[in-house]
Amino acid sequence: MEISTLATYHCLAFVWYFFVAYSITHIKTEERPSEVFLYGGQWKYLTVLNLVLQAVFYGVSFLADVLRLIKKLRCAKCIISSRDLLFSVLAFPVSTFVCISFWTLYTYNRELVYPKSLDGVIPLWLNHAMHTAVLPFALLEIFALPHRYPAKKKGLILLGFVAFLYISWVLWIYSVTGEWVYPLFALFSPAGLAAFFAGSLAIIISFYNFGEFLNRMIWGQSKFS
């Protein structure tokens, strides 16, 4: 894509994610089911955190495009490095994980991840904006321009660290409230929950590898923006 086209696309994507994140974080207090929005509010859900992540990523991408358009190449180089690291390590694998894991569990038993009580609070379009559209956006980004992936060890360490932080947040909320972020977790013994977290980490790592594979197959090793 031309830089001007990329700038337009990234700007629109940023506005979209900002709007979706704003919409979910400004649900009226009196409309929130008490069993869902307890300690931590919306910020305990990976879906909502992913919306913020995507907004940050597309904001950084738009800034990189603007700097390239105005020929501030030295500044652009640093921002592009941050953009590529955000996309490769977090934006693509987390979006893919959110979409696939949510709809897999929703199909099996929606009460485990998205209780029916939310249907009267969160409109259908917003549900799909949070859980469905994130994957096409991530795939479109791969096809739109090449991204430089970090060394495999560095990328996996960063991804694992972020996963550790989120799991720690989930466990902290349980220790404070006695309630799990997702009802699914209540089905597991401690050992089973540890295995579930380990399996989820393995899946998200596979999505990281898949993103790297797609990037390499489409753009090769030498073409970087």
Residues 135-165: tens digit of each pLDDT? 999 999 999 999 999 999 999 999 999 999 9
Mean pLDDT of the region 106-128: 90
Is 225 domain-assigned? Answer: no
| Mean pLDDT confidence for 204-218 | 96
> What is the model's pLDDT at position 224?
44
Number of domain units in the chain: 1
Say which range, 33-37, 119-123, 144-148, has the weakest mean pLDDT.
33-37
- C-alpha to C-alpha distance for 161 and 168, rounded to whole angstroms: 10
pLDDT at residue 28, as a whole number: 61
What domain range is 128 assigned to? 3-27+37-219
117 within 8 A of 35, measured Cβ to Cβ: yes
pLDDT in tens, 93-104: 999 999 999 999
Q: Establish if 160 belongs to a structural domain.
A: yes
Confidence band (pLDDT; 50, 70, 90) for 130?
very high
Query: 108 in a domain, yes or no?
Result: yes
What is the C-alpha radius of gyration for the chain, rounded to an integer number of angstroms?
A: 18
Beta carbons within 8 Å of 77's beta carbon, 6+ residues apart:
none
Q: H helices of the chain, where? A: 3-25, 46-69, 73-86, 92-109, 124-131, 134-144, 152-177, 190-219
Do 90 and 78 touch, CB atoms closer than 8 A? no
Considering the chain, what percentage of its residues have pLDDT values greater than 70?
92
Are 21 and 48 spatial neighbours (Cβ–Cβ below 8 Å)? yes
Contact 92, 30 (CB under 8 A): no
Indicate whether 118 belongs to any domain. Answer: yes
On whether the pTM is more than 0.75, the answer is: yes
Residue 224 lies in a domain: no
